[in-house]
Every structure is written in C-alpha cells, then in structure tokens.
Structure 1
Amino acid sequence: MDLIEEIKKRSIHVDNGIEDYLPLTKPLELYKAARYLPDAGGKRLRPSIVILVAEAVGSSLEMVLPAAVAVELVHNFTLVHDDIMDKDDIRRGMPAVHVKWGEAGAILAGDTLYSKAFEILTRAKGDPERILKCIDILSKTCRDICEGQWMDVEFEDRTDVTQEEYLEMIEKKTGVLYAASAQIGAILGGASDEVADALFEYGRLIGIAFQIYDDVIDMITPEEVLGKVRGSDLMEGKKTLIAIHALNNGVELGIFGKGEATTEEINEAVRTLEESGSIEYARDLAVSYIEKGKELLNVMDDSESKDILSAIADYMIKRAY
C-alpha cells in the first residue's frame, strides 16, 4: 500500500471542498487570508481520517465531505493563531498569515476559519441528530484545544511540570482533533456509539503519539533534514516528555532553556539524553500508544479503509520530519 497516495486520493476531494465551501468573496483580502494556509496544502491527515472511517463503517465520501472540510479548517485556524502566539514567521515554507496580513488580519482570518467550519459542518448529509452530535463534538474539541494551548503557555514559566500534565496538554492540543475526526466520521457514517467511542480513542491515542514522536524527531533528525536547529526544544526550555523524564532522573542538561548553543553542545546534550534512556522512553511510550490505537480498529470489519487507518497510525511514529 502506498499510504501517501491513498491519502492524496481523499485529500483531492477535501481540496475541492475547501474551494467550494470557502469561496473567495467580499471582503476579498479577508477570505484570501483565510484561504492562505488551507490552499498551501498540508498532509490532510485529519480530514482523511474522517473519510476513511466513514468508508470503513460502510458509508461514503459524500456523506462526510463537509465534516472533513470542517475538521481541516479547524486545524488551520489553530495554526494561524499558534503562529501569532509563538511569533513564528514561517509556516509550510511560506510567510505566516500574520506576516502577510498583520496580527489583526491573521486573528480575523483564524476566526473566519473557525466560524466557517461549523457552518460547513451543518451541510453534512444524514440524520440531523447525528449532525448535531458532531457539532457538539467539534465545539468541545475547540474548547479542549484552547485549554491545551493555555497549559502549554503556562508550562513556560514552571519548573515542576509532571509527565501527567504534559500528556494532558498534548492530548488537548493535538490528540483531541484526531479523536474528533475519527469519531465524527463514524457517527456520520452510521456507526453505533460503541464503534464511534472506540474510534475516538483510536484518534486520541495516535494523536498523542504523534506529538510525543515530534519531540523525538527534534532530537534525532539531522539538521539538513529537520529544516531547523536540532535540539531547539532543549534550548527553548520546552517541557517535552524527553526533558521531563531526564530532569526527573537527575540528568544535567546545560543547554536547557539557554536560548542558544553550539553544535558541539547540542550534540553532547542529545548524547546524554540517549545514554540516559530519555529519548528511548519517549519513543517507547509513543509506540505503545500506537499499538493500543491500532487494536481499537478491530471494532470494524476488515476493509481496505481500515488497513489505511492502521497504516496512518504507524506513520505517526515512522514519518520523516
């Protein structure tokens, strides 16, 4: 199976849906700003999960395409606002929205994506009660994402962040949107509550694993592949699972929170984290979440779409940066 090709087959429909459901209208610059990131591409993993789950439970693309587009717009809304808060000037290899349209323009573009997502979700086909349930799920997901982002900001000024707090934070920032994607696909696809709940958990687990492994990638990937300075999380003092595990075990990280370091100092810090087992600990935990998530797919009958969902789970901890 060519996973990327299978995702592309679904993402083409998502791209067309974005164009149809979020047209460039007046005021033109607002909608150009709102469309900027969605039009720039991205992996489209979350909307593909919506579609694949619907297929796997016996439904079709047509039933869930508005929901898939809605999920993708929510994802892009979070990216627009994250870049403002983090003062990141580059996204997907291009100037961030706030760089091109200013902070006020970017806030409005993000708010437009957020509001349009719910408007588009109401266009999903099927039982109105199921559509209403999905609106409720997506709204609670947006609340959780905001709570997770707030926790992440708070962690910057704390030295006592626990593993449990970190896992809760990444569940809310990253895991819940994957969870909602799978659950919404199941609900609109006509699945039972039992199946929908299991698929929510599948999405939650692989989403958490995705973020944990992202921290691993920051440590183990050569800079020419990573596209940024290796170990930047350490220099920024980010409370990642790797850092929390190391600090809790008395590992000395001289560059932690220092803002900058030489290549030699970074390499030495990464070696220390490898020797202490902190990187392996994070990698192993991510793998365990993926295996548990894949097991939950057994609530569905065997199908090509189910196999692709399993492959997406593996991709979360095998992808290149």
Structure 2
Amino acid sequence: MDLFAQIEKRSKLVDKGIETYLPVTHPEELYKATRYLPDAGGKRLRPAVLMFAAEAVGGNSESVIPAAVAVELVHNFTLIHDDIMDSDDIRRGMPALHVKWGDAGAILAGDTLYSRAFEILSEMDMDKESLIKCVQLLSRTCTEICEGQWLDIEFEDRDDVTEEEYLEMIKKKTSVLYGAAAKMGALLGGASDEVADAFYDFGILTGVSFQIHDDVLDLITPEDVLGKVRGSDLMEGKKTLIAIHALNDGVELDVFGKGSATKEQIENAVSILEESGSLPYARNLAESYLKEGKAKLDILDDSEARQILLEIADYMLSRKY
C-alpha cells in the first residue's frame, strides 16, 4: 500500500469537488482570489482524514466529498486570515493572497471560503441527524480556531506563557480541525457516537503532534523547501513550545521578537535550541501525542482505511515541510 498514492487518489477527488462547488463566477475577480489558495495545492490531509475515517467505519469516501471540500475550504480560509494577521508574504511558495489582492480582497476571499463551506456541507444528501451534528461540529470548530488564533496573538505580548497554555492554544488553532474532519467522516460513514468520539480524539492528539512538529520545521527546514521565511516564529516572538522551554531555562535568543534576522543569526539560534535541549524536548512531546492519538483507533477492527489513518499520523511527524 502506497500511502501517498492513496492520499493523491482522494486529493484528486477533492480537487474536482472544489471545481464543482466553488466555480469562478461573477464577480470573477473575487472568485479568482477565492480559488487562488485552494488551487495552489497543499497536502489535503484534513479532507483525506475525513474520507478515510468514513471508509474505516464502512462508509463510502466518494459520498462524503462535499464534507471533505468543506473542511478544506475552512482550512484555506484560516490560512488566508493567518497570513494577514502575521504579515506573512509567502504561502505554498507563492505570494500570499493579501499580497496579490490586498488585505480587503483577501478578507473577502477568506469569508467567501468560510460561507461556501457551510453551504456545501448543509446541502449534502445524507442522514439529516448526522449532517446536523457535522454542521454544529464544524461551526464550533471555527469558533475554537478563532479562540486559538486570539490566544496566539495575545501570547506575543506576554512573557509568562506556560506550556499548558501553549498546548491549549494549538489544540484550538490547529488540532480541532483535524478532530472535526475525523469525526465528521466517521459520523457520515455511519459510526456510533462512541466511535465518532474516538476519531475526534485521534484527530486532536495527532493534530497537536502535527503542530509541535510544524514549529520544529519552522526552524530546521530551508526556505526553498518550507515555502515561507525560515525562523519566522522566532523573529515574531511567538511563544511556541520550543521558545517557552528555552526561555524557562534561561536560554539567550538574540533574534527572538526582533522582527528580522539574517540567515546566519537564525542558524545560530537553531544551534542554541538544539544544544540546550529545547528542540529535542519538542520532538519527544510530539512523539508522545502521536502515540496516544494512534491508540484511539484501537476501537476499530483492522482495515486498510484504519491502517492508512495510522500511516497519515506517522507522516505528520516524519514530514520535512
């Protein structure tokens, strides 16, 4: 079984779904902007998780394509707004949407993705009780993402952010969408609430692992591979798990919160974080969350879809960008 071939197969279905459910129509420039980021690619991990979850409980992945598209549109909506708030000019190796269309155009494009996601989801021809649960879950998830983003911004002005607060923030900012994707797929595939909740926990825990690893990659991955400025979290003074661990240990980081730094300064900071134990600490915690998350799927009988979900979880921690 080739994991990436399996993901690619579902990804193509999602791409076709995006073309179907998000056509470029009037006003044309708005919809060009709205399609800009989804058409730029991306890993499509969240919709893939949703589709494999449906398969793992005996459902049909093609029947849940609209829900998978909805989750992918919500994800892209959050990326657009993140780039505006963080003043990041590069996304997926291209100019960020707000660079091409301005802040106002980017906000409108993001809002269009958000509203279309719920329209697409609510119009699915599925069991109404399960569909209502999915709409409620995705709505609550969007609220939690905003809460997480607010905490992320708030932490920049605080010097006393704890590890527990950081983990709460990334759970809301990143993990809840993985949890929602997994649970939505299970519900639409016909799973019981107990099984669907296990999928949610799987998504939450592996999502935390994913984000911790993402913070590691921000420091260790070359810009041409990463697709954005390397070390941006350090320069912006973001309280990642790595930074919190280092600051609590009294590690001196000259570039932290300075707004800019040379490549040599970033290299030096990364070396300090490695030697001080902060980067290894983050890697170990990510592995712990991954192990706990994968165990949640023990509730299922073995199947190809279950195995793929476990391999996706492993990929989250082994990926290089």
The TM-score normalised by the length of structure 2 is: 0.95
| Separation of aligned partners in 1, 2:75 and 2:223 | 27
Task: Give the aligned partner of residue 97 of structure 2.
Answer: 97
- The offset of 1:195, in angstroms, is 0.6
Work out whether 1:272 is the aligned partner of 2:272. Answer: yes
Runs of 4+ in 1 over 6 A off after TM superposition: none
1:126–1:151: structure 2 CA closer, same or farther, 3 Å change rule?
A: same
SS in 1 for 2:251: coil
- The offset of 1:264, in angstroms, is 4.3
Task: Give the aligned partner of residue 129 of structure 2.
Answer: 129
- Contact 2:152–2:238 under 8 Å retained in 1: no
Task: Give the aligned partner of residue 299 of structure 2.
Answer: 299
SS in 2 for 1:317: helix
- The offset of 1:199, in angstroms, is 0.5
Letter of the structure 2 residue corresponding to residue 91 of structure 1: R
Cα deviation digits, residues 200-258 of structure 1 (max 9, x gap) = 01001111111101111223334554455543322322211011011112222233222
1:151–1:313: structure 2 CA closer, same or farther, 3 Å change rule?
A: same
- Contact 1:64–1:125 under 8 Å retained in 2: no
Task: Give the aligned partner of residue 5 of structure 1.
Answer: 5
Work out whether 1:70 is the aligned partner of 2:70. Answer: yes
Q: Within 5 A, what are the aligned runs for 1:1-321?
A: 1-222=1-222, 225-226=225-226, 230-321=230-321
| Separation of aligned partners in 2, 1:36 and 1:230 | 23
SS in 2 for 1:190: coil
- Contact 1:65–1:124 under 8 Å retained in 2: no
1:99–1:316: structure 2 CA closer, same or farther, 3 Å change rule?
A: same
- The offset of 1:261, in angstroms, is 3.8
Letter of the structure 1 residue corresponding to residue 220 of structure 2: I
Where structure 1 has 5 or more consecutive residues not aligned to the other structure, the ranges are none
| Separation of aligned partners in 1, 2:226 and 2:116 | 33
- The offset of 1:71, in angstroms, is 0.3
| Separation of aligned partners in 1, 2:101 and 2:272 | 43
| Separation of aligned partners in 2, 1:81 and 1:219 | 22
Count of paired positions: 321
Letter of the structure 2 residue corresponding to residue 275 of structure 1: E
1:33–1:266: structure 2 CA closer, same or farther, 3 Å change rule?
A: closer
| Separation of aligned partners in 1, 2:205 and 2:61 | 24
SS in 2 for 1:191: coil
- Contact 1:67–1:121 under 8 Å retained in 2: yes
- The offset of 1:123, in angstroms, is 2.7
Letter of the structure 2 residue corresponding to residue 165 of structure 1: E
| Separation of aligned partners in 1, 2:260 and 2:74 | 34
| Separation of aligned partners in 2, 1:229 and 1:43 | 19
1:3–1:238: structure 2 CA closer, same or farther, 3 Å change rule?
A: same
- The offset of 1:45, in angstroms, is 0.4
Using the aligned pairs only, state the percent identity: 70
Letter of the structure 2 residue corresponding to residue 45 of structure 1: L
| Separation of aligned partners in 1, 2:69 and 2:78 | 14
1:8–1:252: structure 2 CA closer, same or farther, 3 Å change rule?
A: same
- Contact 1:55–1:305 under 8 Å retained in 2: yes
Cα deviation digits, residues 46-99 of structure 1 (max 9, x gap) = 001110000010000233111001000100111111111122222222222222
Where structure 2 has 5 or more consecutive residues not aligned to the other structure, the ranges are none
Letter of the structure 2 residue corresponding to residue 141 of structure 1: T
